[in-house]
Structure 1
Amino acid sequence: MATLSPLQKRAQRKARNSTAMDMNLVALIDVFTILIFFLLSSATGVETLVSPKAVELPLANSIQAPKDTVVLVVAGDEILADGRRVALVSEALASKDDLIPGLKAELDVLASRQAVRAENRERLAAEGQAVTIMADKTVPYQLLRKVMATCARANFSDVSFAVRQRVEG
């Protein structure tokens, strides 16, 4: 029997102990794709409103989840409708009329975009559309009354106020 060199012995041992294991990457990729799709689709079920830093919402004992509506933000010195500035608070307070013209115009545009199908248009004309008002807790009632009156004139009669949920402790 011929003696093997240490290098040959090592090569023989490696050949004898090696178990080739192939991994099926296609199945692994399929699993990860399904997992990502599931996570993305379930993440959209969370219903929270993002509150701007300039708005300190009042506390309430509300447990009702927010609806997907047009969001009006009354903060600082401006009024925003779905993120676009539509009026200044100082001008709205100085006005003798309850109607805020810039807000009314923007709400009319938003109302026309939301009701594309004819049956939805008829339902919204009968019931009115929904709007959520996010106002700082220091905003005067006179301004909120003007905002609500403008919403009502634009057929947004389902008005909700955004609040922070009070934590019972």
Structure 2
Amino acid sequence: MRHESRRMKRMARSHKRKKTSGMNLTSLMDVFTILVFFLLTNTSSNEALEPPKVITLPDSVVETKPRETVTLMVTNEEILVESNSVVATSEVLESEEIIIEAIKQAMIAEMGKAIGVAQASAEAEAEEAGTEGEVQPEPPEVNILADRGIPFSLLKKVMSSCTEAGYTKVSLAVIQKASQG
């Protein structure tokens, strides 16, 4: 009998210990780690510009992805700089001027953002290359999203206005198709 009572005391002690122990969080932490990893990889992979539904971009087999820059959109109704309406498309088409002053002024107003992006890009490339010292920023650039049905004479005026505002790199956004090779 005495032997049984010791055994019962031991079982009671071990049962008390189990109740006082906390919740095991290892499985929960594993799930959260996987969730954080999934969110980080999927948010950083969305580098392409999303064109609005009113613009149908032309197709291309370009290999490089666009960098984050000032965005200028040309629709059938209006021209927008960073989603702010600047001038009506019909007004630009009717104009005899090669440089459209409204576009030029809007692009000059966005110059601070363009230079900041170019400076950050140059610093990141220098850090990646391991070089130190004075970093020369790249010239400001603009991405133009234009509907494939827009006449080239309009695009020429838009691009001329951007270069007159100081944007030396002008990129036209296209839809990337599979490469032919």
**CA distance, structure 1, for counterparts of residue 88 and residue 107 of structure 2:** 16
CA 78–46 in structure 1, closer or farther in 2 if over 3 Å, else same: same
Superposed CA offset, 1:14-66 (max 9, x none): xxxxx9796423x4554444334333332223311101111111111212211
Deviation, 1:82, is 1.3
Deviant stretches of 4+, over 3 Å: 19-23, 27-37, 113-117
Q: Which amino acid aligns with 2:73?
A: V
Between the aligned partners of 1:60 and 1:113, the Cα distance in structure 2 is 28
Q: Provide the alpha-carbon RMSD of the alignment.
A: 2.9
Pairs within 5 Å for 1:26-45: 27-42=26-41, 43-45=43-45
- Map 1:60-75; keep pairs closer than 5 Å: 60-75=60-75
CA distance in 2, matches of 1:89, 1:39: 43
5+ residue gaps, structure 1: 1-18
Aligned residue pair count:
146
TM-score computed with the length of structure 2 as normaliser: 0.68
Q: Which of the numbers 160, 163, 166 marks the counterpart of 2:174?
A: 163
Classify 1:64/1:30 alpha carbon distance in 2 versus 1 (closer, same or farther; 3 Å).
same
* Structure 2 gap segments, 5+ residues each: 1-17, 121-134
SS at match of 1:115: helix
Q: 1:77 matched to which residue of 2?
A: 77
Q: Matched residues in 2 for 1:162 and 1:115: separation?
A: 20
Counterpart Cα distance in 1 of 2:113 and 2:65: 24
Q: Is the 8 A contact 2:115 2:140 kept in 1?
A: no
Instruction: Tell me which amino acid in the other structure corresponds to 2:74.
Output: V
Structure 1 distance, partners of 2:176, 2:114, is 29
Shift of 1:81: 1.1
2:115, 2:139 within 8 Å by CA — same for their partners in 1? Answer: no
Query: Residues 32, 83 of structure 1: CA spacing in aligned structure 2 closer, same or farther, 3 A cutoff?
Result: farther
**Cross-structure match for 1:153:** 164
